[in-house]
Amino acid sequence: MRRNTPFRLTIAALSLGLVAAFAPAAGADPASHGDKGASHGPAYKRVGYFTQWGVYGRNFQVKDLDTSGTAAKLSHINYAFGNVSPDGKCFTGNTPGESDAWSDYVRPLDAAGSVDGVADTAEQPLAGNFNQLRELKAKHPGLKVLISLGGWSWSTHFSDAARTPASRKALVASCVDLYIKGNLPTDGARGGAGAAAGLFDGIDLDWEWPGSAGDVDTVFRPEDKQNFTALVREFRTQLDAYGRSMPKRKHYELTAFVPTAPAKIDAGFEVPKIMRDLDFVNLQGYDFHGSWETTTAQQSALFAKDGDFSVDQTVNDWLRRGAPARKLVVGMPFYGQGWTGVTGGGDGLGRPATGPAPATWANGYEDYKALKKLADSGTYKVHRDWRNGHAWLFDGTTVWTYDDPWVLGTKSAYVRAKGLGGAMFWSLDGDTPDGELITAVDRALGRR
């Protein structure tokens, strides 16, 4: 990998930019950020993933995006996820582990749980998360919502669906019909033709990964690389055609989540070709290391030594392959990776560990809001690598590597300095109830 510019100088320069970004202009409203900022040019993208399953155990509802102030600081919400069936079509239903129409558009919400403060009725065709997202868009007219297809667990059938011109056409047509035209399957009074029409402003492709291994049951082939290009082209063609057919012409956005590893980029992506059809890509800016490994390490550092993954490495690898800087949106984690049984002393990083750290929902993975409590408890010490831009917690036996407001602010200054497209967050339910992380990014990004 290419050697980074000197770390100390780079972080120092970014820190100066961060201070400037946080300082309000003379006479400005200190609470005014993002789209309401005083500087010129279009706003940077702020893309947040809302998880379908977060409404259950985490009890993170669409309304929380409004009450926390998060929705006002976002440009896009990516709804995660839509699935692709074995016969290569977008689908929904109520099949455990495969689809959840109940969460999507069937589940009724009472007045207290609704964005607009009005309870759902038994007769309305759209309820659940979809209806709440529609209400959220009505309250925040500049906000766009995209359906994100695939993800780690639901990329299983992408390779099969993308193999031929006919299969690609069928897949895209089914996704456009289900999500863009909003023709949902009926479930009692819910669903029906056009039930979700106008909700989604585009499609996000989260195929993990074309041409290389992903989840254990995800099919991949060498020809995925060319087939992904053709699939992107088919999505662009059908979305544009439908947008032109609307009474008031509409541009439907098309985006993708893309990897950090150079080997995965080269195996699956014809970068200059796909970037012509994609509005932007969300770069994997996390999971560089994690609890599946036996040695503790950073999971999302801005910079790293040669041979290691980092945000800067990821950005530069995509730039070198022909991606325009303005179409690169940097992924930022609202969670941490953790290990326990750490030995060897020191600050805990780069040390052997016995396994994933115990956590609330999945061992080795913890929301920022929980890690903040650990940091504030005094039991853990907060460590920072000021040269490379990352942070971690260590209590003598357990390490959590994560991004806090300082790290995210520094990354946002980097986005500005590199002329990149903005920031993406996985996932919104990991933030604090008052939106501490999204606020840090929003203030640091400002406008172009």
Q: Which residues are catalytic?
A: 208
Contact present, 127 and 107 (Cβ < 8 Å)? yes
Q: Are 34 and 439 in contact (CB under 8 A)?
A: no
Q: Count Cβ neighbours within 10 Å for each residue of 15-41 and write b for 16 or more, e otherwise.
A: bebbeebbeeeeeeeeeebbbebeeee
| C-alpha to C-alpha distance for 103 and 105, rounded to whole angstroms | 6
Q: State the pairing for strand pair 76-84/94-95.
A: unpaired
How far is Cα 89 from Cα 92, in angstroms, rounded to an integer?
A: 10
CA–CA dist 348, 400 (Å, integer): 9
Its sign, for the CA torsion 372, 377, 380, 384, is positive
Distance CA 426, CA 408 (A): 13
Structure tokens given for 274: 């796909």
> Which CA distances in Å does 351 have to 296, 339, 398?
5, 10, 11
Q: Which of 111, 106, 75 is nearest to 93 (CA)?
A: 106
- The answer to whether residues 159 and 171 touch, using CB atoms and an 8 Å cutoff, is no
* Contacts (Cβ under 8 Å, ≥6 apart) of 67: none
Q: Please classify residue 216 by burial: count the beta carbons closer than 10 Å to its beta carbon, then call 0-12 exposed, 13-18 middle and 19+ buried.
A: exposed
> Phi and psi (nearest 5°) for 260?
-95, -35
Eight-class DSSP state of 353: -
Spatial distance between the Cα atoms of 57 and 428, rounded to a whole number of angstroms: 15
The pair of three-digit structure tokens given for residue 260, joined into one six-digit string:
């950090």
Distance from C-alpha of 191 to C-alpha of 189, rounded to nearest angstrom: 7
Contact 90, 174 (CB under 8 A): yes
